[in-house]
Amino acid sequence: MKRDKEIRQMIFDVRAGQDDERGVYLEGLAIVYGQVIQYGWRREVIDAGAIDAATDLKDVRFLIGHNTSMVPLARSRNNNANSTMQLIPVENGLKVRIYLDIENNQDARTLYSAVKRGDITGMSFMFTVDKSIWEEEDSDNPLRRIAHIDKVFEVSAVAFPAYDQTTLQAASADHAPEGVEDPLESALRRELEEVRATKKTQERRNKALEILRR
C-alpha cells in the first residue's frame, strides 16, 4: 500500500553543543507528542508512542529546508552509534543529535552558527503514517490522531517553522498545482469519509439489532 509522505515543521528548543570525542553537534526534539494543532479543516496530534521499534529509522538524512539536491549534513544509517545523526525515541517525542563537520562543510558551519545565535530554531521532518484515528469525525473540525509513524525519511533545519500550538504548514512530497487540493489533503478527506461511512453503517446495524431484541 502506497502511503503519502507528510511533512511537519515545528518550533522547538534546539541547541548547539560540542563534545571532546565527536566535535560539534545540534540537539533537540524533531517530533513532539501530544501537541494538538489546527490545520485548515482539521486538528491533528501525534500520539505518545507513535514512534516505536516498528518504525523504520534505518536511513534518515539531515538537510536544510528539505533541499534533496544538497549533500546531507548528516545521516543515520541503521541508527547505530557510528552514524552522524542519532535518532532517540523519548517519552515526549523523537530526540535527534546531529554531528556536523564544520571544518570541511560550509553549509554545516553556517547552520551551526545560526543555531548557536538563535537565528534557526525550527526543524521539519518527512514521514509516512500507517495508523491514524479520527475523533469527532462528524464535526466541522475533526481531530486526526497519528497513532503510529511507519517511516521517517528525512529531518531538516528550517528558517520558518510553523508548527506551534495553533498553526501548521504541511505538504505532501508532490505539491499540487495552484487551485488544486494537495494530494495528501485529498487522501485525508477520503479517509475521513470512510470513517464516517463505517460509523453510520455500524449505527444502522445497532439499531436493527435493538429492534430485533424487542
- Which of the pair, 5 or 135, is modelled with greater confidence? 135
Alpha helices per DSSP H over the chain = 106-117, 183-213
Whole-model pTM over 0.85? no
- Residue 1 in any domain: the answer is no
Q: Are strands 122-135 and 93-99 parallel, antiparallel or unpaired?
A: unpaired
- How many domains does the chain fold into? 1
Range(s) of the domain holding residue 55: 6-213
What CA–CA distance (Å, rounded) separates 213 from 160? 59
Does any domain span residue 10? yes
pLDDT (tens digit per residue) in 85-106: 999 999 999 999 999 999 999 9
Mean pLDDT for the stretch of residues 181-190: 83
User: What does 79-128 look like in DSSP terms, one character per residue?
Assistant: T-TTSSEEEEEETTEEEEEEE--TTT-HHHHHHHHHHHHTS--EEEEEEE
**If we measure between CA atoms, which residue out of 34, 145, 44 comes closest to residue 93?**
34
Query: How far is Cα 214 from Cα 211, in angstroms, rounded to an integer?
Result: 5
In a domain, 191, yes or no: yes
